[in-house]
């Protein structure tokens, strides 16, 4: 009867199913619909060369504008998208969109796209990248793919052959969040990465001690950053520091010989429509914006 039906549909806690699972189911359903409803967009954050004092590229960072949930952070939905396999169509959309948008930027400006370990286990990754480049007309040298160390924990043979085929397309490969995973050093020997992205957890600890504070031993993070930059230099791999928020951090990274920086100090990720304005501000003719801001 009707009363029973209503009780059934109003029931929030099904026995044996906890609140967490309910929330997950809701998020999964919304995420599935979001792909169709085109609720995703890409924000772009500058990658700033310290040697050239210019923006040399932008990292594409996925944003979900959900009518029901508002702006949802990738940290909240990417793990679920990975568990459900939804990251494969979403990741394909990211690749196509990033390449298409970057094709309209000045020729010397690259775009970096994050790839999930799940995309490495799905079929057609290399084809998807090839098609995104062809459709957009973006030169392969202007696309950088960012992978995390977890990608390399999967079947070595398969991953190495995929990375090699991607490299053969002419794109570059960066190792993201370096220093947070496992046995990072052996991976650097097995695959010719083009760039190491030093994880922001190390940069966060680079803060110079406040004036008048008692002398401290050299920070552990500073020692690690120095080691990674040195490693990059000897292997011929570029190093970029993530999460640079202060002038002091930038100055220290410059001193250590880090080749690029990325972080709120240069600019937070911004909508695609603002890339032109960011380039006008950060790359005016003959400028050294980072240096000026450091000295200010
Ligand atoms: P990530 O690739 O390491 O990206 C850097 C993250 O640090 C971004 O978070 C960025 O907004 C944030 N960030 C940048 N500068 C600063 C700073 O100065 N301070 C601090 N505290 N944070 C800063 P976001 O955009 O929330 O993305 C989080 C993660 O989600 C990314 O980490 C990446 O692993 C993943 N992600 C984002 N977009 C995609 C995508 O299209 N595909 C896949 N597979 N993963 C993505
Ligand atoms: Mg990244
Ligand atoms: Mg990162
Ligand atoms: Mg990170």
Q: What is the percentage of the chain residues whose pLDDT exceeds 90?
A: 71
- Phi and psi at residue 272, to the nearest 5°: -55, -35
Average pLDDT over residues 149-161: 86
- pLDDT, tens digit (0-9, with 9 covering 90-100), for 64-111: 999 999 999 999 999 999 999 999 999 999 999 999 999 999 999 999
Best residue among 42, 55, 74 to mutate for probing ligand 1's pocket (most ligand atoms within 8 Å of CB) is 74
Pick left, alpha or beta for residue 287 (phi over 0 → left; psi -120 to 50 → alpha; otherwise beta).
Answer: beta
Confidence of residue 152 (pLDDT cuts 50, 70, 90): confident
3-class SS letters over 185-235: HHHHHHCCCCEEEECHHHHHCCCCCCCCCCCCCCCHHHHHHHHHHHHHHHH
Q: Rounded to an integer, what distance in angstroms lies between the CA atom of residue 95 and that of residue 53? A: 27
Number of neighbouring beta carbons within 10 Å of residue 37: 12
Query: How much is the pTM?
Result: 0.89
ipTM surpassing 0.90: yes
Q: Is the pLDDT of residue 272 over 90?
A: yes
CA of 140 to the centre of ligand 3 (A): 22
Average pLDDT over residues 118-130: 96
Atom of ligand 1 lying closest to residue 244 CA: 18
Q: Is 57 in contact with 47 (CB distance < 8 Å)?
A: yes
Give 3-state DSSP helix, strand, coil % of the chain, rounded to 5: 50, 20, 30
Q: Is the CB of 97 under 6 A from ligand 1?
A: no
Q: Is the CB of 73 under 6 A from ligand 1?
A: yes
Higher pLDDT, 6 or 15: 15
CA of 74 to the centre of ligand 1 (A): 7
Atom of ligand 1 lying closest to residue 177 CA: 3
pLDDT for 11 equals 47
- pLDDT, tens digit (0-9, with 9 covering 90-100), for 168-204: 999 999 999 998 877 568 888 888 999 999 999 999 9
pLDDT for 284 equals 84
pLDDT for 207 equals 67
Confidence of residue 130 (pLDDT cuts 50, 70, 90): very high
Q: Is the pLDDT of residue 7 over 50?
A: no
Higher pLDDT, 166 or 36: 166
Q: Is the pLDDT of residue 165 over 90?
A: yes
Atom of ligand 1 lying closest to residue 78 CA: 45
Q: Which ligand is nearest to the CA of 245?
A: 1
Q: Is the CB of 62 under 6 A from ligand 1?
A: yes
- pLDDT, tens digit (0-9, with 9 covering 90-100), for 219-266: 788 899 999 999 999 999 999 999 999 999 999 999 999 999 999 999
Q: Rounded to an integer, what distance in angstroms lies between the CA atom of residue 81 and that of residue 92? A: 13
Q: Is the CB of 56 under 6 A from ligand 1?
A: no
């Amino acid at each position: 009867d009707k009363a029973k039906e209503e009780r059934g549909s109003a029931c929030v806690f099904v026995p044996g199913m906890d609140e967490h699972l309910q929330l997950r189911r809701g998020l999964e359903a919304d995420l599935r619909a979001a792909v169709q409803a085109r609720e995703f967009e890409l924000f772009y954050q500058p990658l700033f060369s310290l040697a050239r004092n210019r923006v040399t590229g932008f990292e594409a960072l996925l944003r979900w504008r959900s009518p029901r949930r508002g702006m949802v952070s990738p940290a909240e939905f990417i793990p679920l998208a990975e568990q459900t396999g939804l990251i494969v169509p979403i990741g394909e959309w990211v690749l196509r969109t990033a390449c298409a948008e970057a094709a309209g930027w000045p020729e010397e400006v690259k775009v970096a796209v994050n790839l999930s370990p799940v995309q490495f286990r799905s079929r057609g990754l290399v084809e998807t990248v090839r098609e995104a480049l062809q459709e957009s007309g973006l030169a392969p040298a202007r696309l950088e793919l960012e992978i995390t160390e977890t990608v390399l924990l999967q079947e070595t043979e398969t991953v190495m052959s995929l990375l090699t085929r991607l490299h053969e397309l002419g794109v570059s490969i960066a190792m993201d969040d370096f220093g947070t995973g496992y046995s990072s050093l052996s991976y650097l020997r097995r695959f010719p990465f083009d760039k190491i992205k030093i994880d922001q957890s190390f940069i966060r600890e680079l803060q110079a001690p406040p004036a008048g504070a008692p002398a401290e031993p050299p920070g552990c993070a500073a020692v690690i950053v120095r080691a990674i930059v040195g490693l990059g230099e000897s292997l011929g791999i570029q190093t970029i520091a993530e999460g640079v928020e202060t002038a002091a951090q930038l100055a220290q990274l410059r001193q250590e010989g880090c080749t690029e920086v990325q972080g709120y100090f240069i600019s937070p990720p911004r909508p695609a429509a603002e890339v032109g304005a960011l380039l006008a501000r950060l790359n005016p003719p003959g400028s050294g914006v980072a240096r000026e801001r450091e000295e200010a």
